[in-house]
Structure 1
């Protein structure tokens, strides 16, 4: 057992506070990782606050993990001590169902084991604990290789925001010359812009804010469409090959549907309630689809793609002790575009 420092939510309303616990012993197929950096995802806040009604406490959030291997089990051949690695939103699945056989472990029919907040298959009556901690032990099949050529701290959000936007772009075959609209510019949206541009698409930022649109141009977008401007929206009707909707709050998606060409799709990746009038779907044979992170194989593909194109997230670094202030800022959309925790600050505490 390895003594581990962390920050945890003790209930749905209190601030996150220090929490010491033990990680399991390294098994034959395990990789032990010293965590260097961990991204802060809005999902962490939802889980800490029990917004989805599934949280068990104490809860250590964090599923955008970058670190170095410190130990490997006797059966592990694909990782070595000192190697730079990542861990994303899940750390296990049944590996036997039809979804797992298709490398879609996030849709495991028995339920994926999330990096935190899931029943821990290695502990009785315990839950998995995440990356707001000094170390983690993970089955080698759910550990990812990370390029040393990228800015290590800025790689962390790729493990969630990166794969969440990469997967639907690949699923709907976005390619060079396609016109792609990214709806909403936040942690997810800014990665959608960068990735779609790297795929060769003409990217249009669709936003209510002209100011955000201008920042999207810095990220690589070629144009800005202000969604509250009816004349602008009408001018773009029927012109998009794909729409990536990253809005994380309740909204009406109906006005965006007519922007799609005949038979084209909008993928919704923001976890929120939406409203939809189906008329524009029927009359344009258009598609609204959902997408949930990505499987391990696709996540590794995304990391390799980002290394090839030198893509990382725009991040703001914080100490572990500043996590509660960071949560407040995320809820006010006051970050460009992801917080990342320097875990040395936790070790030094």
Structure 2
């Protein structure tokens, strides 16, 4: 097998995040599910945008955030995702390419517009996300670059994008392409609501041996396995997925890989500002270590360091120099 040109290629929602601080009473008044992610239609998106205070627009999307962290660490990355031929689509494409990530998916003409996620950040740093998927849910299989997928060490898939039919078919094709090329497939479950809708699909992929690295938080783990006990839940996947990584918020993270276990504490920070993208950046740190064949515990520590950086400020893209930060933490 030839050495890959990319460390990670990801398929995910191409979204621009619109973020604003809010009060807890605003969450209640607007009928939002605090700390969760809700899909909204164009009318609800307009209503929520009008209710926001002063906001910041930052390119986002779960898998794209992970790649931003990976690229900042020095990894070679590529992204596949659908934007519309509009202003937000140009913003997204500019931002991801400016981060050193290859992005060649053609923009889609006409409606719907580029996806956006309206994020209300409450005083405790919890983010309440309301996502209009827009053009991102119309990623066709024809937009895939099979050569690029086969030329990446890891194909990373975002569970959020499994919901719409068209990109789901594209991701199934991408999995087949990666496996035919002998590459690894990583999958992030994204949210319990995704598992509620597509858990049977995910369990089938796992049973078929299609997933090499599975990312989840402890709530998603319980939803996927139907087992409330954390250690029993992760053990139930140990002989089905080569590497299982589970984040546990302030309790750190745990992983099992080929029979080896590792656990890491959460990195201390002065104050949690915004938890948007914490899991995405944890995956970035872990995958960076994984693609460089670092020990399992070090991969977890890299994830924890990156997650701590992201929750110390608004937005899901790193602001600190991650290379310098990791060097200072790991020596």
TM-score range relative to shorter protein: 0.3 to 0.5
TM-score relative to the length of structure 1: 0.32
Bigger helix share: 2
Q: Which has the larger radius of gyration?
A: 1
